[in-house]
Amino acid sequence: MAHPGTANTILNIFRHTKTPAHYVILSGDVHYSFMYGVRLRSQRHGEPHIWQITSSGIKNQFPIRLLDILDRLNRWLYAPKSPLNWLTRRRRMEIQPCKPATAARGERLLNQPGIGRLCLAADGKPELVEQICADQAIAFLPETTD
């Protein structure tokens, strides 16, 4: 969304009447994991629904204290009801974070190396999203409003 031309093109694709209802965007190796659900504000019935799912690298981990600071800053500046969302390109989207099952209140990022696992329903909607770490598999919980 940093490049205005690309952002507008992507948003126009999602606004088209023949666009499928569900999209999953996969990315990885940013040294932490997260999942966000995105809906375009202008669409009726909340479609299309887009999920961005990012898995950490298999062996790398972000510096713990730095990630905590960045996660907290992101929550303050870009919370779903933050006024700052209305002043940026994100104003056309409703972005809802999904929290890892092991996260403390308010945390949205998982800072553990591992392998991501995704199971999709027949309609393309994610049924299970988890990060398989060395000692456990950590699922991302459905969207929340806290």
Number of other residues whose CB lies within 10 A of the CB of residue 131: 27
Which residue's entry shows tokens 């598999």?
A: 137
pLDDT higher than 70, residue 12:
yes
pTM for the full predicted model: 0.78
Residue type, 40: L
The predicted pLDDT at position 127 comes to 92
Q: What is the DSSP letter of 106?
A: T
Angle at 24 between CA 138 and CA 95, to 5 degrees: 80
Q: What is the pLDDT of residues 73-116, one digit of tens each?
A: 888 877 767 777 666 655 667 778 889 999 888 788 899 899 99
How far apart CA 125 and CA 50 sit, in angstroms, is 9
Which residue's entry shows tokens 């606004």?
A: 15
Number of other residues whose CB lies within 10 A of the CB of residue 3: 10
Indicate the helix (H) or strand (E) that contains 69: helix 64-78
The predicted pLDDT at position 11 comes to 74
Over pLDDT 90: what percentage of the chain?
19
More confident residue, 5 or 32: 32
The predicted pLDDT at position 145 comes to 45
Q: Which of 62, 65, 70, 7 is nearest to 40 (CA)?
A: 7
Residue type, 1: M
Contact 141, 98 (CB under 8 A): yes
pLDDT higher than 70, residue 52:
yes
Give the residue extent of every domain in the chain: 4-139
